Amino acid sequence: MKNQNIIIKWLICFAIFGVQGLCLIASPIVHTLAADYPDVPLTTVRMITTIPSLAAFVGAMFLAPMLGKVLRYKTALIIGTSLAFVGGVLPAFWNARFSYIIIARVIFGCGFAMFSMRNAITARTYGEVQAAVWMGNGSFLVSFLSIVTQLISGMLGDISWKYSFLLHSLAAVLIFIAVFLYEEPEGAEKGSPERVRVKKSGSALVPPSVIFYFLMILTSMLCLFPFLSSISIFVAERGLGSATQSSWVSSAYSAGGAVASLIFAAAYAKYSRWIMSLSCLTVIAGYVLTLAGVNISMVIMGSALCGGGAALITLIYSKWSMDASDESNRALSMTLIPCGVSGGSFLSSYYMIFARKVGAMIPLFETEIEKTFLVGIIIYAVIFILMTVKDFRVLGKR
């Protein structure tokens, strides 16, 4: 990649991260879908935002050890974008039963499984020295695409939620880039001398520190994904707007993530010891502002803070995992972090049940979603204290 034109580098980065930017298209239309399928429980309707994460989690854990060995990087990108395209647009046409939509979302998730390995692909494509920069750039592209698609999804959702699913056809552009512009990284071909050296040296096991990072990112996202999956319902319950206003809030979340992604490399280099603590505080501030919101502007600002904090937390754990691993286990180690994000997304529906029971013991707020947000604040406060008291970077090979 060293001699590639900068535009080509950005396009390839877009191909690696783009599918993730399509993952939130369904968030603004959860409330609309629930109205169209009144016999389907709300917890089941929410699965359109969480079931792809389960499929991605299972698929990535199976595929990560094969990446760059049995499974070529280019092949992974092409298969992933193709499945995301098919599974993404399918609900617009195949929706006689809600179960059909769930099946389509599973197909989309199978495609997204390839992109749970996006950080490993980035490190191999751009090199370890530039990996943090391009992970930040990729996260920025994801956030920017999420802003655009969610705004359009919300507006289309007010007409018909079927039109929102058609936005997944943007994956066709990613397929084109993967086929015609992406080149297999040097030394990644089967049987190459580099692969032979890696196979003979190093441990294939994931370092214990990476397991810890995986559990922490899973917990962090477990508390944060209810924000995305339930924000349209929260806005409706507060009487703050429809699917269009919900899309503004979801897009603000992505905008916060975009800004955080752009400053990540510089911020990490300067404040690496405290950046995790600051990220947790940012999420807490976002949740507090959202719960205090008496108008859509306050909720939008709270959403932007939550999105910025979430983006930083994900990038930090990805960087720590890369530093803690070696060439023989880096693909699996760096895949565990996106898998933790996916796992947190899927399990968030069950976490909401837990949060509702815990929230019932706290005499604040009334609705299930408000209590879920409140419990999220408490858990993030605990993580903040943990990260402030101890420097967990020492668990890896800095």
pLDDT digits (tens, 9 = 90+) for 153-183: 888 988 999 999 999 999 999 999 999 999 8
pLDDT for residue 193 = 43
What residues contact 130, with CB distance under 8 A and at least 6 apart?
A: none
Q: pLDDT tens digits for 6-42? A: 899 999 999 999 998 898 898 888 888 988 999 999 8
pLDDT for residue 189 = 52
pLDDT for residue 187 = 62
Q: Under a CB-based contact definition with an 8 Å cutoff, are residues 33 and 45 in contact? A: yes
CATH code, 6-395: 1.20.1250.20
Query: What is the CA angle 5-136-117, rounded to 5?
Result: 90
Taking 70 as the pLDDT cut, the residues of the chain under it are 1-3, 187-204, 394-398
pLDDT for residue 194 = 43
Residue 81 to residue 96: CA distance in whole angstroms: 25
pLDDT for residue 150 = 83
pLDDT for residue 339 = 84
Residue with tokens 């972090």: 337
Per domain, the residue ranges of the chain are 6-395
Torsion of CA 177, 174, 1, 185, to 10 degrees: -90
pLDDT for residue 232 = 78
pLDDT for residue 307 = 92
pLDDT for residue 331 = 75
What would the two tokens of residue 267 be?
């911020």
DSSP string, 249-315: HHHHHHHHHHHHHHHHHHHHHHHTTTHHHHHHHHHHHHHHHHHT-SSHHHHHHHHHHHHHHHHHHHH
